Amino acid sequence: MADRYKSFHDLSASERLDIDYRIRALDRKSDAVILAPHGGWIEPKTSEIAEAIAGTDLSFYTFEALRNGSHGDLHITSHRFDEPTAIDLVGRSSTSVAIHGRREDGTDLVWLGGRDTRLRDAIGSSLQQAGFGTEINRRLPGLDEANICNRTRNRMGVQLELSPRLRTSLISDDSLLEIFCEAVRYSVRTSGTL
């Protein structure tokens, strides 16, 4: 489904903050930010997963739809995602990891994308060692320089696409979520960019 809005300016002119959508951001002065630009009802459970990865020390951002509707109602494609708080927070960071949801495809593979191929591959390796399947994302590669995950000081970041089944499994099993989060956090901490 095509996006209804092409920019945050367009969205905010028609939708109501804290009624139709909300923005949550925690600037922890870390050099890494974990974000879910399509949280809430857009790509369910991505906000919760991103927040769990951020923990208490990494910066966190999410844009959340507060009402159920079609996927495209409040979805702004990642290379057009220009919400000012996100742009500012990501732009002051050297590392970003964006958590996204994708359609069910019958697998629980984590699709790995983004311009930071070193961190992308490190996260993939850590997730595999933790028991999660991964593959390089050919369909939604996250390589556009304007993609919100790539708007860091280094002009690159990582994008993880999770299936509905994997998101549900993570949210319903605290120990599985902890293993997933620690695998991502380990790679962020040891990537050499922090």
- Tell me the domain boundaries of the chain: 8-190
Q: What pLDDT, on a 0 to 100 scale, did the predictor assign at position 71?
A: 63
Confidence class for position 156, pLDDT limits 50, 70, 90? very high
Q: What pLDDT, on a 0 to 100 scale, did the predictor assign at position 154?
A: 94
At 104-148, the pLDDT tens digits run: 999 999 999 999 999 999 999 999 999 999 999 999 899 999 999
The Cα-based distances of 94 to 58, 119, 155 in angstroms read: 12, 12, 8
Q: Which two tokens stand for residue 19?
A: 């009624």
Q: Which two tokens stand for residue 74?
A: 């409040």
At 65-95, the pLDDT tens digits run: 998 877 669 999 999 999 999 999 999 999 9
- Nearest C-alpha neighbor of 149 from the set 179, 117, 194, 191: 117
At 162-188, the pLDDT tens digits run: 999 999 999 999 999 999 999 999 999
Separation between Cα atoms, residue 98 and residue 161, nearest integer Å: 9
Q: What pLDDT, on a 0 to 100 scale, did the predictor assign at position 193?
A: 57
Separation between Cα atoms, residue 60 and residue 53, nearest integer Å: 9
Q: What pLDDT, on a 0 to 100 scale, did the predictor assign at position 180?
A: 98
Q: What pLDDT, on a 0 to 100 scale, did the predictor assign at position 2?
A: 80
The residue-averaged pLDDT of 14-30 equals 97
With 70 as the cut, is the pLDDT of residue 194 above it? no
- Which architecture characterizes domain 8-190 according to CATH? 3-Layer(aba) Sandwich (3.40)
